[in-house]
Amino acid sequence: MAQFFVVPATTLAQGKQKRKPGPALVKIDQVTLKPRATRQSFVGTLEPIRRAVIGSAVEERVEEVLVREGDLVLGGDTQPTTLVKLHRQAIEIELEATQIELDLRSAAITELVATIPTQIEAAEAELARLEAQLEYAQQVYRRVQGLGSSMSEKEVEESVSLFNAATQSYNAAKAELARLTATREVRLLIATRNLERQKAELKRTQDLLSRYTVLAPFEGYVTRKMVERGNWVTKGTPLVEIIQLDPIELRIEVPQEYSVSLQESFDSAGGDEAPLQAEIRIDSLPSPLQGIVTRIIPDADPVTRTVPVIIRIPNAPQRTGQNQSHLLKPGMLARAELDIGKGQAVLMVPKDALVLNQGSASVYLVKPLDGIKKAKQIAVETGRSNGNWIEVTGDLDENDEVVVQGNERLRDGQEIQVLENINALNNHP
Residue 180 shares a structural domain with residue 125: yes
Give, in order, the Cα–Cα distances in Å from 2 to each of 5, 6, 119, 160.
Answer: 10, 14, 118, 149
Q: What is residue 338's three-state secondary structure?
A: strand
Residue 84 shares a structural domain with residue 216: yes
Residue 80 shares a structural domain with residue 219: yes
Q: Which residues pair with 107 in a beta bridge?
A: none
Residue 114 shares a structural domain with residue 195: yes
- Backbone angle region of 332, left / alpha / beta, with phi > 0 → left and psi within -120 to 50 → alpha: beta
Give, in order, the Cα–Cα distances in Å from 220 to each of 116, 192, 200, 389.
Answer: 60, 46, 35, 36
Q: What is the pLDDT of residue 1?
A: 42
Which pTM value belongs to this model? 0.60
Q: What is the pLDDT of residue 8?
A: 53
Domain contains 171: yes
Residue 414 shares a structural domain with residue 351: yes
Domain contains 138: yes
Total domain count, the chain: 3
Q: Cα separation of 48 and 291, whole Å?
A: 14
Q: Cα separation of 197 and 106, whole Å?
A: 11
CATH number of the domain enclosing 355? 2.40.420.20
Residue 237 shares a structural domain with residue 177: no
Rounded mean pLDDT for each run of 10 residues along the chain, 429 residues in total: 47 50 86 80 94 94 94 85 94 94 93 88 90 87 76 79 89 88 88 94 94 93 95 95 94 90 79 78 90 92 93 87 81 90 80 89 90 90 81 91 90 87 43
Residue 421 shares a structural domain with residue 394: yes
| pLDDT, tens digit (0-9, with 9 covering 90-100), for 268-318 | 776 666 788 899 999 888 889 999 999 999 999 999 999 999 999 999 888
Domain contains 255: no
Residue 220 shares a structural domain with residue 76: yes
Residue 74 shares a structural domain with residue 221: yes
Residue 168 shares a structural domain with residue 148: yes
Q: What is residue 88's three-state secondary structure?
A: coil
Domain contains 40: no
Answer whether 98's CB lies under 8 Å from 145's CB: no
CATH number of the domain enclosing 220? 2.40.50.100
Q: Cα separation of 231 and 238, whole Å?
A: 12
Domain end point (choices 208, 224, 254)? 208
Q: Cα separation of 195 and 400, whole Å?
A: 81
Closest CA to 339 of 395, 378, 389: 389
Residue 138 shares a structural domain with residue 200: yes
Domain contains 182: yes
Domain contains 403: yes
Give, in order, the Cα–Cα distances in Å from 90 to each of 60, 65, 93, 127.
Answer: 10, 19, 5, 53
Answer whether 278's CB lies under 8 Å from 42's CB: no
Q: What is the dihedral of CA 59, 63, 69, 71, to 10 degrees?
A: -110
Q: Quick one: DSSP state of residue 70?
A: T
Give, in order, the Cα–Cα distances in Å from 45 to each of 85, 111, 307.
Answer: 35, 70, 14
Strands 32-35 and 345-350: antiparallel
Q: What is the pLDDT of residue 343?
A: 65
Domain of 129, in residue numbers: 92-208
End-to-end CA, the chain: 41
Q: Strands, E, within 218-332: which ranges?
A: 220-225, 232-233, 238-255, 277-281, 289-296, 306-313, 318-320, 323-325
Domain contains 140: yes
Domain contains 262: no
Q: Cα separation of 35 and 347, whole Å?
A: 9
Domain end point (choices 208, 224, 257)? 208
Domain end point (choices 208, 233, 268)? 208
Residue 115 shares a structural domain with residue 191: yes
Strands 306-313 and 238-255: antiparallel
Q: What is the pLDDT of residue 239?
A: 96
Q: Cα separation of 270 and 346, whole Å?
A: 20
CB neighbours of 234 closer than 8 A, spacing ≥ 6?
Answer: 56, 59
